Amino acid sequence: MRRFLSFNDFFKEYFNGKTVKLSLDGGFTCPNRDGTLSKRGCIFCTDKGSGEFAGNRCESISEQIDSQKDFLLKKWKAQNFIAYFQNFTNTYGDLNSIKSIYDEVIKRDDIKGISIATRCDCLDKEVLKYLKELSEEKLLWLELGMQTTNEKTIKLINRGYSHKVFDEKVNELKENNILFLIHAIFGLPYENKTDYIDTINYIKNIYPFGVKFHNLYICKNTDIYNMYRKENFDLMTREDYIETIIYAISNMPKNTVIHRITGDPDKRSLFEPKWCADKLSVISEIDKELKNRNFDVKTKEDIKEAIDYWL
- For ligand SF4, the binding residues (CB under 6 A) are 30, 32-33, 41-42, 45, 49-50, 88-89, 119, 145
Name which of 32 and 255 has its Cβ closer to ligand SF4: 32
Task: Give the shortest CB-68-to-ligand SF4 separation in angstroms.
Answer: 21
Q: Are 27 and 57 in contact (CB under 8 A)?
A: yes
Task: Give the shortest CB-42-to-ligand SF4 separation in angstroms.
Answer: 3
Name which of 45 and 128 has its Cβ closer to ligand SF4: 45
The C-alpha atoms of residue 225 and residue 218 are separated, in whole angstroms, by 6
- The kind and range of the H/E element at 259 are strand 257-260
Closest by CA position to 62, among listed 90, 100, 18 = 100
Q: Are 210 and 259 in contact (CB under 8 A)?
A: yes
Name which of 30 and 303 has its Cβ closer to ligand SF4: 30
> Residue 178 — φ and ψ, nearest 5°?
-100, 125
Strands 80-85 and 111-118: parallel
Task: Give the shortest CB-112-to-ligand SF4 separation in angstroms.
Answer: 25
Q: 255-290 burial string, b = 16+ CB within 10 Å, else e?
A: bbbbbbbbbebeeebbbebebbeebeebeebbeebb
Task: Give the shortest CB-135-to-ligand SF4 separation in angstroms.
Answer: 22
Task: Give the shortest CB-46-to-ligand SF4 separation in angstroms.
Answer: 8
Which distant-in-sequence residues (6+ apart) come within 8 Å of 307 by Cβ? 10, 13, 14
Name which of 45 and 242 has its Cβ closer to ligand SF4: 45
Name which of 37 and 277 has its Cβ closer to ligand SF4: 37
Task: Give the shortest CB-59-to-ligand SF4 separation in angstroms.
Answer: 20
As a whole number of Å, the end-to-end CA separation of the chain is 20
Peptide bond preceding 273: is omega within 30 degrees of 0, i.e. cis?
yes
Task: Give the shortest CB-118-to-ligand SF4 separation in angstroms.
Answer: 8
Name which of 19 and 50 has its Cβ closer to ligand SF4: 50
Name which of 221 and 251 has its Cβ closer to ligand SF4: 221
